[in-house]
Structure 1
Amino acid sequence: MSLDKDVQVREIYTKAVCGRGRRFSQVSHTVTPPHAPTSILGAWIINNQYDAVKSGDSVEVVGTYDINIWYSYDRNTKTDVAKETVSYVEVVPLSYLDKKHRPSTAEVSATATQEPNCVEANISSSGSSVVLRVEREFKVEMIAETKVYVYVNPNGGEDLDDKTIDFEDSGEDIDYEDLDPDLLDEELN
């Protein structure tokens, strides 16, 4: 692409989403209640608390949640609730990463798109504990300073005053997430 000699380009540093990722996982936990369970009456995951930490080209979601298991024991004559707090670390790789961001300015965040949920609870083969299968999913974003290039109109905005630009009704469906940030950089050099 050749640029007209009147076209000016500016470099602007701005904060932008420079990384994204998503991870679905299934994990197993074993909980040993005070009494050998006869049957499982219910299992719930509550109090999910987590934080996000940058780790190379990934984000680690570090958190805890409480497992509550309602069970019967003593040949189904009594019930109790076993409670256990579980710690976890979920490594979420960044499927999109702008390599030209300033690493020292990176901030990460995580959102639980599927809160941890018990999908199966069974008494172990030994009969003394409960094995739970838990599903969870997290979406992460990394926001950092990055450099963008903009074209500068040498006439300022004066020649745009009588023109209306409506990007909504341009008839084009543009998915800005699919744009390659390196493409503009290559064309300007």
Structure 2
Amino acid sequence: MNDIREIVTRAVLAKGRKKFKLKETVLVNSDISSVLGCWIINHQFSTELNNKEVVITGQFENNIWYSADNNSRTDVARSTTEYNGTVKVKEVLNDNISDHCDVVARILQQPTCTNALITNDGIEIDITFEVLVEVIGETKMMVNVVSCNHQEDDLDMLENEINEDFLESR
């Protein structure tokens, strides 16, 4: 006999993905000769669901290694970049049965400096990173339950057929 049952489970209700591009100017007190490198570290963020969008708020640290005074000395300029952005999500399931949803965000591409330019104000850097968000909530699903007519004794019968002395007799 087949039965259909409803199961309440947590599932991905909506998904979204966005590539962020930011510009940041890092102030430097000396005469810059060249930019030697740029590292972005300590990325932290939080998310919040707002209707059909996920608001992401975060920050990271910029470390720019540069030379100054006609390449006679080097130094590192440090700054913190804060950002706010929204990621639009597309519904995967529309059967949310609860008022509460969780947002899971993953960084697909960590913040990376893609360009550094010396300006009158300091060093202007271009930063890119990519985020994937999933909205998870409770939903119902229907499953088809097929009754099993096999008896549990089948394993016992198999065990009785095994000859334990087989290896010893050879």
In the TM superposition, 1:91-170 aligns within 5 A as: 91-124=86-119, 127-153=120-146, 156-158=147-149
Select 2:79's aligned residue among 76, 81, 84. 84
Match of 2:13? 18
Native 8 Å contact 2:4 2:143 kept in 1: yes
* Greater mean alpha carbon deviation, residues 91-100 or residues 132-141: 91-100
Q: What amino acid maps onto 2:30 in structure 1?
A: H
RMSD: 2.2
Q: Deviations over 1:118-151 (max 9, x none)?
A: 0100012xx2311111110011111110111223
Deviation at 1:8, TM superposition (A): 4.4
In 2, Cα distance between the equivalents of 1:93 and 1:142? 11
Q: Distance in 1 between matches of 2:91 and 2:129?
A: 21
Shift of 1:7: 6.0
Equivalent residue of 1:101, what SS? coil
2:99 aligned counterpart, secondary structure = helix
* 5+ long unaligned stretches in structure 2: 153-170
- Give the alignment's TM-score, normalised by structure 1: 0.71
1:40 pairs, out of 28, 35, 43, with 35
In the TM superposition, what is the alpha-carbon distance from 1:117 to its structure 2 partner?
0.3
Inter-partner Cα distance in structure 1 for 2:31 and 2:64: 12
Partner-residue secondary structure (3-state), 2:132 = strand
* Cα distance change of structure 1 residues 128 and 78 upon mapping to structure 2, 3 Å threshold: farther
1:64 is the counterpart of 2:59: yes
Change (3 A) 1:141 1:128: same
**Alignment gaps of 5+ in structure 1:** 1-5, 162-189
User: Counterpart amino acid of 2:125?
Assistant: L
Q: Supply the distance in 2 between the matched residues of 1:19 and 1:95 (Cα, whole angstroms).
A: 5
Give CA deviations for 1:64-100 in whole Å, capped at 9, x if unaligned: 1000111122332222111001111232211344222
Distance 2:98 2:66 in 1: 49
The one-letter amino acid paired with 2:123 is V
Identity %: 33
Equivalent pairs counted in the alignment come to 152
Q: CA deviation at 1:41?
A: 1.2
**Which has more radius of gyration?**
2
